[in-house]
Amino acid sequence: MSRGHMDVTVQADNPACPVSEVLDRVAGKWAIGILVAAAKGPVRFSELERGIEGISRRMLTLNLRKLEREGLLVRTVYPTVPPRVEYECTEMALELYETLLSLVDWAKRHSGDIARAHAVYDAAHSPTAPA
Amino acid sequence: MSRGHMDVTVQADNPACPVSEVLDRVAGKWAIGILVAAAKGPVRFSELERGIEGISRRMLTLNLRKLEREGLLVRTVYPTVPPRVEYECTEMALELYETLLSLVDWAKRHSGDIARAHAVYDAAHSPTAPA
DNA sequence: CGGTATCCAGCCAGATACTG
DNA sequence: CAGTATCTGGCTGGATACCG
């Protein structure tokens, strides 16, 4: 390769897209937290609402529906009174969680580099930056 | 465990947070695409602009700055005229990319399950859904 | 209890004109 | 060529009232 005029077109056949897709499934402020909470075993709606600091009822519901639709959570309604609904991770979700752990590992290994990069960048772009 | 009153509180010490952090670094519509494009070797601004279908100049710049700040890209300015700027993945970014591949693998292994889950969910929640 | 419906603020992202 | 500045619309997400 001549290193200068390579094709960088990003399309559906590009590795980028599957990554983005799977990322989209668990992205957002709450999805991972919910998955983690549910990974320990079946959990009730109100437990999640109380346990996940700062989440609104609406966002919890929306995220639960999304994760259920993705096949990552199973929703079980017990027709008791008062109603009881439990959410449980699927096998697939647990597997995904394991995979995400490798990302955590990456983050840990490079946390120093990242912090340093931040510092360098911020210093170079601060109001009192050098020429 | 009695399976019912466990602590599902999600806080800073929870595994969820590092995951979310690293995910935030590469989330968004464009970051991955840029990383992929740059993974092949140094690439110029205009090459990225042309190569990444649909990205605006502004979003490209924003993403490049973000990735540079994270230490995932290195920006090199050649003081020629006209100006020439190249972006190159860091070692760390390449490593991250390898890790992301395991997510792709997960997605591939379960693409069938996910599609099925979607179908099931959508059928169950369609206007003409059963009781 | 476990949601849904509604309203609203803020941020994100697109388009585009301008600049060094 | 490689950006920055500005405007603007739309989506996301928070608060809350209501419903089965």
Kindly list the structural domains of chain B, giving each domain's residue range(s) and its CATH number in brackets, ordered by start: 3-90 (1.10.10.10)
Residue A77 CB: number of other CB atoms within 10 A? Answer: 9
Output phi, psi for B76, to 5 deg: -125, 125
Mean pLDDT of A31-54: 93
Among B1, B8, B22, B50, which would you mutate to test the A interface (most chain A Cβ atoms within 10 Å of its Cβ)? B8
CA distances from B27 to A18, B20, B96 (A): 13, 10, 13
Share of chain B above pLDDT 90, in %: 65
**Of the candidate ranges A3-17, A21-35, A91-105, B72-86, the one whose mean pLDDT is the lowest:** A3-17
CB A18 within 8 A of CB A25: no
Question: What pLDDT does residue A4 have?
Answer: 37
B71·A117 Cβ contact <8 A? yes
Residue pLDDT, tens place only, B26-60: 888 889 899 999 999 999 999 999 999 889 999 99
The pLDDT confidence band at residue B131, using thresholds 50, 70 and 90, is low
pTM of the model: 0.85
- What would the DSSP string read from start to end of A43-82? EEHHHHHHHBTT--HHHHHHHHHHHHHTTSEEEEEE--SS
> What is the C-alpha separation between B129 and B115, in angstroms, rounded?
19
Q: With an 8 Å Cβ cutoff, is B49 touching chain A?
A: no
A131 pLDDT above the threshold of 60: no
B19·A32 Cβ contact <8 A? yes
**Of the candidate ranges A62-66, A86-90, B5-9, B90-94, the one whose mean pLDDT is the lowest:** B5-9
Q: With an 8 Å Cβ cutoff, is A93 touching chain B?
A: no
